[in-house]
């Protein structure tokens, strides 16, 4: 899959301070709303595979609901080790359509 794929309408996005899971083609992504800024990243925590989109947001970090690992919503960097990262994907909103590019 290449290019941007529609994942939701603007009304389906999580409210500020929350994250949610969305299907993007064959992949599940975590979409977070940090202070009105929407970001998308892999939905799988690097620790034990927890669903990041079911986690909570504190500050600019998404906290995995399984074991509390924290990831920066904009960069995907783990709080305890910036070299450990989940992949972050480009997001764009056109009209009412929210689209993510998970690459090829």
Contacts of 59 (CB under 8 A, 6+ apart): none
With the C-alpha atoms ordered 8, 53, 15, 60, is the resulting torsion angle positive or negative? negative
Global confidence as pTM: 0.92
Question: What sections of the chain are H helices per DSSP?
Answer: none
**Residue 38, both tokens:** 């929407």
Direct distance between the N- and C-terminal alpha carbons of the chain, in angstroms, rounded to an integer: 5
Q: CATH number, domain at 89?
A: 2.102.10.10
Please give the residue range of the domain that contains residue 61.
7-96
Q: Tell whether 30 is covered by a domain.
A: yes
- pLDDT tens digits for the chain (104 residues)? 469 999 999 999 999 999 999 999 889 999 999 999 999 999 999 999 999 999 999 999 999 999 999 999 999 999 999 999 999 999 999 999 999 999 85
Q: Tell whether 60 is covered by a domain.
A: yes
Whole-angstrom distance, CA of residue 74 vs CA of residue 70 = 12
Q: Tell whether 88 is covered by a domain.
A: yes
Domains identified in the chain, total number: 1
Q: Tell whether 61 is covered by a domain.
A: yes
Q: Tell whether 2 is covered by a domain.
A: no
């Amino acid at each position: 899959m290449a290019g941007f794929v529609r994942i939701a309408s603007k009304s389906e996005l999580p409210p500020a301070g929350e994250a949610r899971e969305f299907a993007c083609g064959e992949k599940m992504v975590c979409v977070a709303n940090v202070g009105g800024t929407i970001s998308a990243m892999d939905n799988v925590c690097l620790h034990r595979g927890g669903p990041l989109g079911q986690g909570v947001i504190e500050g600019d970090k998404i906290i995995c609901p399984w074991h509390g690992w924290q990831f920066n919503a904009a960069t995907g960097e783990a709080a305890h080790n910036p070299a450990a990262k989940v992949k972050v994907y480009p997001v764009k909103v056109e009209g009412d359509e929210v689209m993510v590019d998970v690459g090829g």
